[in-house]
Structures are given as structure tokens and as C-alpha cells.
Structure 1
């Protein structure tokens, strides 16, 4: 079967975004299918109805509106400008078969041919973009949603109408968070089930095949922080590391620029290697948390605040699933030294993989 995958993948500094895409690609490939990544280049909404939805969302969410205004006035974390040494483009090009970059109109008018289409994980359903809901797929093709996330979105009446319309014709629907499952069930898809992020469909040995061992002689803490706002004092990590006799390796992503501490850029392979070799991991990233678990690392996850607080639902769901709510940062780094029952995590991960394999009968090769 020839399968086209649509998901977020074009970031130049968000490791989780690229790796969730890669993990889904390799999972589908492992089932004997040929697959390709549909390189969708999103542009600002041009459709009047979608513009109206965005405006209504801002009006009904004052925190988000205030955050956006602050960002435009330059009071939020500034944007990074040069990530060429992270080589994300090279990773995508070497590891996955991709289409040429395509705009919304190009996809709607002439979609790449496939027997089935999958819209993948990450927060691709945080806005009612028809491409992310596979509205372009021909009627005789299979449409499958593999763990997309609404990112904590509470859709207004218009958005609910759009989402109901989009998911009606799917052959299979799953979501990454329980809140998304409930929303889809409310909108007519009572068969929606909970799926793990595709990065959890592979164990540490799979990622070790591409991880690059870091040239770090000293033991270290890996600090990985995305640009979404967190109330967290970075200096606390350096103070903790000093007491423990550890070095700090600090990687930023998602346009975060650090003005006070030295940061390290890394390729995807190096990032995986740095997590694998770390003594501890501290992060505000969902996928930073996932890969800490996969690599059996003691970690703490920093919750987001303000307009981004709604995105914490993915972290809460993930930690609750593996009985690790104590790994959420609460004003102290000391819990990071507590032991983690990774045997339980490994068993649960294998159960999730078996569950997904059983549910996706529709994609089994005949």
C-alpha cells in the first residue's frame, strides 16, 4: 500500500516535531508499506471563515490575545535566526521520502496520489486547517488519524462544526490526549480511541541506531527548553549541577533565544545522543519528556504558563499514563534524584505498541 503522511515536520529547531514525524514514517514502513511525507508549507489563513475563527478564538481567550500582543511588542522570547548547523533539512531529506514543498491550494487541486493518507501526531488539530484533516484525499482512499492533538484547544461553535465535518469521513480516528478523544466523540465519532505519540512506538534500541554519541567527557545535565513560556529560573539548574559536580548542556528550540547562558545547537542525531548520555534531563518539552522515558533517564518536566498553559494537558496525560506525576516540576529540583520504575514504563510501552498494531487493521498489508 502507498501511504501519504501529513503532519508537522518543517521546523528547523524543534526536535520533537521532526522525530514524531520520523517515528510515524518508520512505523508505517515497518508494516510493509511504501510511504512518503507530504511537505505541506502552511501559510497564514486566506480563507475568510478561517480568519474569523482565529479572531473569535483570540477574543474569547484574553490570555492568548495578551500573549500575542506582548510577543509582537518584542517582550516575549525573541526568534532564532540561524539554525543551519542543526541540519534538520538534511535529516528529513536522508531519512524520509518527501514530496516537493506544496501549498494548500496545490494540495487541494492536485493531491499526491496514495492508497491511504495518515494525518499524524503533534498539535496539528489546534486549528481547523483542512489539509491537516485530510480534506483533499480522494473518496476512494483510506483516511486515518494517528494520535493528532488539539493542543488543549476548546473550540467555539464554528470550529466544532468544521471539525465535525472533517472527521466524519475518516476510516479511523484516534487522538493523543483523552480530551481530544472526548471532543471527537462529542462530534459524532464515538469510535475514537486514545493513541500514543508515534515516538513511543519504538524503543531505545531503535533510536540508538541513529543517535550520535556526544563528545562530552564530563557527566552532565541536559537542559532542553522550548520557546513557550515557563516560570522557571534557569540559574537553578546551574546551581544544582554545581552541587552535584555536573556540567550543564543547554539546548534551546522552537525559536527560543537565550541571552544569559551559553547554549548548544545539535543535529537530531546529536540531540538523541545527548539525551542518551545524560545523568538527568530537565525540559519544558513534551518530546523531551518522552525521550527521557524511552532512554530511562531521571527527569523533571517544567509546566508551561500563561497562554500556553492549555498545552500542559499532553504532559499531564503522559505522566499520568506512566504513574509519574511526581516528575512535574514544583518549585524544587530535588525530586529529579528520585528513582523511576522503568520496568513498568517498558511494559506499558509494549502494551501500547500491541494495542496500536491491533487497532490499525485497516492498514495491514494484504
Structure 2
């Protein structure tokens, strides 16, 4: 039976994690059925990745500073290069459709032959990230679809264990649009169950649907670094993490290489090199070639697990559920650290990859079983 799956996720984001999870889910599903990425790009979200940044949540002085900072020659050029490389990756591996659908109504009219709308993964249900709930990520176009079309959530995330109570009424109504719901974080299960009356399944982030060798196929040999170094990928600055890096650099005698986020660079780690202007493949190559990885990013930790890197993950100021959950699943909870001393100690502690791989494989099989049962028409 001919079947088309339409994905709704953060494919538009110039963010390594968002693009990696989209690539992995599409790659896995495309082995069995036609899978497309629907070019839904809400205006409020798409604009946050502009070359010249002027965040609306800042006051006037902050906006002026942000614009001037974006226009600094070095920063502007590195962002332009990163956006160019990311756009090439997106067109080659995700979607070459340059249209931008801005509303749920446009999604419904996009391709009438879609049989399953698949929402997720990523923080598509986190109003702090999406600047309020975005209708398209809740299939509010459901009433306009032909009979028999399904709406499924795969590894959707609220980014936290529960949202503000002011969100509860709207979220309760939105969740009624789904035939089946699965989420990424165990901690959010009680909250969502209390709203929709059904216990959502917990599944792995899509990046785990592909194994180490499948990710390595994405890397041309020439892109794999040969030097030994400590790779850093961050989502926020941490004094304890900076101190840990300073001590490790001295102790191990290895250079520190910071893989800069394409749109939110932080030149504050005292590193030997800041890798700016990276696309998705360059990011993967730097992670793959590292001797050690120090991160406070969920996908930094996830790719360390997949690529078998000695790593530690530092706690964020808030919203640690995502990293904590995946490290617990992999039996690596002790690698989620608070202090520089803990970070140094755990980075030197060898990972038991036999145990970690076995635990992740169990969850990977469950995730694939969910997709076979609820998304793939012929059971994959």
C-alpha cells in the first residue's frame, strides 16, 4: 500500500540538534515508506535565526547592542558561512522545497495524499521555545483532513516536566488532535497524562534511531580531524565548566576546541580554538574526532553516547530533565555533573560501552516498534 508520512518539526532551525534529529527520523522512516518534511516555518520562530539578530524580548538598548554585535565582520561572516552550510545540508537531506508554510491551514492544503502527520521530535510543545503554542505542531488542521488520516506525536517535548498552569487548558484541547502520543522525557509523563487522560509512551530522541556507523557515513574522510583535542559544545556559560576545561587542558596537555553554535557564539571558554561557521557535517566531524567531549547540551551528550566519546555533561541553570533522562537510560547518570572537580573525575572514568550500548539498544528497539505500530502502514 502506498503511504506518505509528513513530518512537522524544527527542520527550519539553524541548530545542530534540531537538524540531526530531523535527519535521523526521516532517514529511518524513508527506508520503509515515502517520508517528507513539511516546510512549516512559523514566522515568529524562523526569524530568530536571522543573520542580524534583534530579539523581540529585549529592551531597546539590548536590541541595538544585538544588531551591532551581529554586524561585527568576523561574527557576521562566520554566521553567514554556517547558514550557507546548513542550508546545503537541509536541501540535500531534509527538504529542497523552499516554500514556507506559516499556518495550520497551509499545512492541510500542502499535499492531500499525506496519510500520517508525524509531529516531533524536539521541543515543539515548549511555549518558551516556540513563543507560545504554534498550531501546526498540534495538528489543529485535523478537521480539514480526509477520513482515515492519522496524527501522531513522536518524541515530542515540552522541555520541562510541566508547563505553567496557564497553559493547561489550551494544551488539553490541543492534545485531543492526536491519535497516539509519545514524548521524549519520562518526567513529563504524569503531567501530560493528567491533561489528556492517556499515559503517553516514552521513546528515544530520533538521533538514536541511527547507529554509529550510519552517522559516520555522513562524514567524508577528509572532514575527520586527525589531532587529539577536547571538544566543547555548550548551550550556556558555566563557571564550573570553564574551570573544568582550564584544569583538563593543563592536566592532559590537549588543546580545547569549542564548537560554536551557528547563531549563538560564546567566546568565553579560554579555548585554543573556536570552530566557527560549522555546518552539520563539520559539527559531526569535530565531535567524531575528539578525544574527550565536555558539554551541557542534550544533543552534545546524545552524540557522545552514539559516537563512543569519553564525555561529561554539566548541569544547566534550569531544565535538566532532557539530559538527565537520556543519561539515566544509558546507565551514565554519574556523568551529569555540577562541579569542575566532578567533571574532571568522571571524564577520566572509562565508559562501560558494552553496558551503555545494551541499555540504549533496548530503548532503540522500543522506539522502532512504536514507529512500526503507529506510523508505518505496513509495519516496517
The corresponding residue for 1:91 is: 89
Are 2:305 and 1:289 aligned?
A: no
Q: Which structure's residues are more often helix, by fraction?
A: 2
Q: CA deviation at 1:232?
A: 3.8
The corresponding residue for 2:138 is: 133
Q: CA deviation at 1:275?
A: 1.4
Structure 1 residues 1-366: aligned runs within 5 Å: 1-12=3-14, 14-30=15-31, 32-44=32-44, 73=62, 81=76, 82-86=78-82, 87-99=85-97, 100-104=99-103, 107=106, 110-113=109-112, 114-127=114-127, 128-137=133-142, 138=145, 140=147, 141-152=149-160, 154-213=162-221, 214=223, 216-226=225-235, 228-234=236-242, 236-253=244-261, 255-260=263-268, 261=271, 262-265=273-276, 266-305=278-317, 309-310=318-319, 312-332=320-340, 333-334=343-344, 335-360=346-371, 361-366=373-378
Distance 1:71 1:232 in 2: 32
Unaligned runs of 5+ in 1: 46-67
**TM-superposition CA deviations, 1:235-254 (whole Å, max 9, x none):** 64144123212122111216
Q: Is the 8 A contact 2:40 2:107 kept in 1?
A: no
Distance 2:10 2:294 in 1: 24
Q: CA deviation at 1:175?
A: 0.5
Unaligned runs of 5+ in 2: 46-56, 128-132
Q: CA deviation at 1:25?
A: 0.7
Summarize the Cα distance change of 1:158–1:356 in structure 2 as closer, same or farther, 3 Å threshold. Answer: same
Say what the alpha-carbon RMSD is for the aligned residues. Answer: 2.6
SS of the aligned residue for 2:136 comes to: coil
Distance 1:184 1:101 in 2: 30
Query: TM-score scaled by structure 1?
Result: 0.84
Distance 1:278 1:200 in 2: 20
Summarize the Cα distance change of 1:233–1:351 in structure 2 as closer, same or farther, 3 Å threshold. Answer: closer
**TM-superposition CA deviations, 1:140-175 (whole Å, max 9, x none):** 211110001101163344421221112223121100
Distance 2:267 2:288 in 1: 27
SS of the aligned residue for 1:121 comes to: coil
Q: How many residues align?
A: 337
Query: TM-score scaled by structure 2?
Result: 0.81
Q: CA deviation at 1:351?
A: 1.2
Summarize the Cα distance change of 1:329–1:215 in structure 2 as closer, same or farther, 3 Å threshold. Answer: same
Identify the range of structure 1 (36-45 vs 103-112) with the bigger mean alpha-carbon deviation: 103-112
Distance 1:109 1:28 in 2: 21
Distance 1:201 1:177 in 2: 16
The corresponding residue for 1:51 is: none
SS of the aligned residue for 2:219 comes to: coil
SS of the aligned residue for 1:249 comes to: strand
Q: CA deviation at 1:341?
A: 1.3
